[in-house]
Copies of this chain bind each other. A is one copy, B any other.
């Protein structure tokens, strides 16, 4: 129908696929995890600040992947890292995980599979879907991203989990192998993310970039990633706004 795809000034290429960071950009991990932590705490009579617990659990995320990025540890999928970090976070709060039924912890670990979308996510993605390939570009494993999509109603065309690329962002291979599976040049792929460091790495790998502000990802006191820190191709305050900028 003569649709003209957005052409990235930085890559000089028309964008064919718009891929999204998920945790924080498309889904609200803090609210979602805290909700399930609160249920767990109530059921087990544990005194936990659910949001603080979610923050602590999340704080162990990057260090766990660092061991893999540096080659100290072979690729291990995010579900496993989350599960290990859950034990650590519980111990930090004085709860011995060995005293909690294994299935209960497995179920709590799956809270990362059931994160709620930001209110604008589903509509925005559905609009962009009309003219671009749309999918996640996340450190989540495939089964996590698939469950997340089915629960939140995210209309991905394709899911390329980190267990398919066998690496974690922000290593360049995470972006490049994803583009490779799509048979696209890096410059034909746009990463949309709420995190400047993710966009920095994507740009270095040759991708187009879009910043989406998510100023409450970390709760009311958020200090990082409140604004774009570079001249990303596009800067939007929501996914529908990004959709308009993409001409979708």
Please list the residues of chain A having a beta carbon within 8 angstroms of any beta carbon in chain B.
79, 133, 141-143, 146, 149-150, 157-161, 163-164, 181-184
Contact = CB atoms under 8 A, between A and B. Distances in A.
Contacts of A160: 142, 164
B143 A181 contact: yes
A184 B157 CA distance: 21
Nearest to A159: B158
A79 B181 CA distance: 12
B143 A182 contact: yes
21 contacts: A79-B183, A133-B150, A141-B183, A142-B158, A142-B160, A142-B181, A142-B182, A142-B183, A143-B181, A143-B182, A143-B183, A143-B184, A146-B157, A146-B182, A149-B157, A150-B157, A158-B159, A159-B159, A160-B164, A163-B181, A164-B181
A29 B157 CA distance: 22
A158 B182 contact: no
A161 to B, nearest CB: 7
Contacts of A183: 79, 141-143
A182 B181 CA distance: 18
Given A133-B146, A143-B182, A163-B181, 17 more contacts: A141-B183, A142-B158, A142-B160, A142-B182, A142-B183, A143-B181, A143-B183, A143-B184, A146-B157, A146-B182, A149-B157, A150-B157, A158-B158, A158-B159, A160-B164, A161-B181, A164-B181
A157 B149 CA distance: 8
Nearest to A164: B164
A70 B163 CA distance: 25
A182 B143 CA distance: 5
A133 B147 CA distance: 9
Instruction: Give the top 3 A-B pairs by smallest Cβ distance, nearest first.
Output: A143-B183, A142-B181, A164-B164
